[in-house]
Amino acid sequence: MMGIENFPEFKSENVRENCALEIYDAKKTPWNEIKDDIMRIEISSSGEKPGLDEEILKEAFEDPASIIIITKDMGKNKIVGFSLAGPAAIAYLEDYPERPTNDDTAYIWDSAFEKGYQGHGLIAPVNEEMEQQLTKRGFSFMERDVANDKKDKDSTTEETYADKIRKNYKGRIIKEESHDSEYGPQVFFRIKLKKPEENPKESLRPRT
């Protein structure tokens, strides 16, 4: 369970209080209006270059099959983070052809926060909201690849992000597989989604 209670206390309550979630709608907010914010966040999160390039992100943000949760700092009126998911059956055909495709499975492509907003526990409500959105769209499982060679930015311990996934989704992890990637050592997880009635109240109020 990826509930807020499983994470350390926020380092700054002001950060949490100022932030809200938004379900991205390309019809209301075209890619061109947010691309600079998204690329800034991607580069800030990944380092000198983005983990996903602009062309890939543009295609994903414009794809109606994508599920995108945006975190906004309402006080500063700017986007500070996002999480991107889509049907695994589509993603794996091109990027992971060796993986079986399942129509009931979503793949989490990316979760990124601007550097100054990392380590404040903001990922927890995003993960909760993403899981709710996936179940609403009829998915039963989600899959993702996460780093297994460095400390999770949202952790106060030396846990990697893979460690945090194991800890918070234990009992619902169907498959776990370590592998190398262009981003370094990673772990692939297949996770059973909670039923709608199992989802707790959101920690950050979504803005739709």
* Selection from 83, 110, 87, 111 nearest residue 99 by Cα: 87
The angle at the Cα of 45, spanning 44 to 51, to the nearest 5 degrees, equals: 105
Q: Which domain holds residue 143?
A: 4-207
The β-bridge relationship of strands 206-207 and 19-23 is: parallel
d(CA 190, CA 177): 9
Q: What is the CATH number of the domain that holds 189?
A: 3.40.630.30
CB 23 within 8 A of CB 133: yes
- 8 pLDDT band, cuts 50/70/90, is very low
CB 141 within 8 A of CB 190: yes
d(CA 31, CA 9): 34
155-194 pLDDT, tens digit each = 556 788 899 899 989 899 999 999 998 878 999 999 999 9
Burial of 93 (0-12, 13-18, 19+ CB in 10 A): exposed
The total number of structural domains in the chain stands at 1
Structure tokens at 202: 């959101």
Q: pTM above the 0.85 mark?
A: no
d(CA 187, CA 205): 31
Where is mean pLDDT largest: 4-18, 58-72, 105-119, 189-203?
58-72
d(CA 161, CA 146): 6
Question: Is the pLDDT reported for residue 1 higher than 60?
Answer: no
Structure tokens at 91: 């993603």
Lowest mean pLDDT among 134-143, 178-187, 191-200: 191-200
43-54 pLDDT, tens digit each = 988 776 667 889
> Bridge-partner residues for 68, per DSSP?
84
CB 69 within 8 A of CB 21: yes
- DSSP reduced 3-state for 149: coil
